[in-house]
Amino acid sequence: MIQQTFLMVKPDGVQRSIVGEIVSRFEKKGFQLVGAKLMHVSQDLAETHYGEHREKPFFKELVDFITSGPVFAMVWEGENVIANARQMMGKTNPQEALPGTIRGDYGLIVDKNVIHGSDSPESAQREIALFFSESEVVSYNKQLNSLLY
Ligand code: RTP
Ligand code: MG
């Protein structure tokens, strides 16, 4: 099923200049970029976005980190993109993420794990709406898609 997901290069990834590398991986896989912006995440947006972790011991640290510098927020579209992007990202803890995954190749510790990705269709819908207005998500046909599907 063709889906959309919300992906975000976290402040560590932006600081380390691997935004292009990360975008490139999803492009080469065959997914289609339909929304993107470099932005600061406000305290409010961070707390809403990570609301499911409000009671966790690492919540404050998580919010402080995601608001510490610009992030690169993206919407990606394609076949089964929600689960597939999570696979390409690797496990939450980069120490457990396999080589070849984004966190496995670029991350060292769980607090600074380079990228966020929606974990379900419900999360994807919620997070896309949180970060992007409707007019910022651009649907368009790519010739290439006829070679993929
Ligand atoms: P994300 O939401 O950022 O895509 O990561 P995820 O689904 O793989 O992991 P999740 O359980 O949603 O956790 C959100 C973020 O919280 C940080 N975390 N720290 N110190 C810890 O034990 C711990 N556990 C999670 C990570 O940065 C994780 O990405
Ligand atoms: Mg998560």
This model of the complex carries an ipTM of 0.94
Is the beta carbon of 90 within 6 A of some atom in ligand 1?
Answer: no
Domains of the chain: 2-39+71-138 (3.30.70.141)
pLDDT at 146: 85
Type of residue found at 136: E
Q: Which residues are annotated as a binding site for ATP?
A: 10, 58, 86, 92, 103, 113
Is the beta carbon of 49 within 6 A of some atom in ligand 1?
Answer: no
Reply yes or no on whether 116 is catalytic.
yes
| 10-residue stretch averages of pLDDT, the chain, 149 residues long | 98 98 98 98 98 97 98 98 98 98 98 98 98 96 85
**Cα separations in angstroms, 113 against 4, 140, 142:** 22, 31, 31
> What distance in Å separates the CA atoms of residue 34 and residue 91, rounded to the nearest whole number?
25
Residue minimizing CA distance to atom 4 of ligand 1: 116
Is the beta carbon of 116 within 6 A of some atom in ligand 1?
Answer: yes
pLDDT at 93: 98
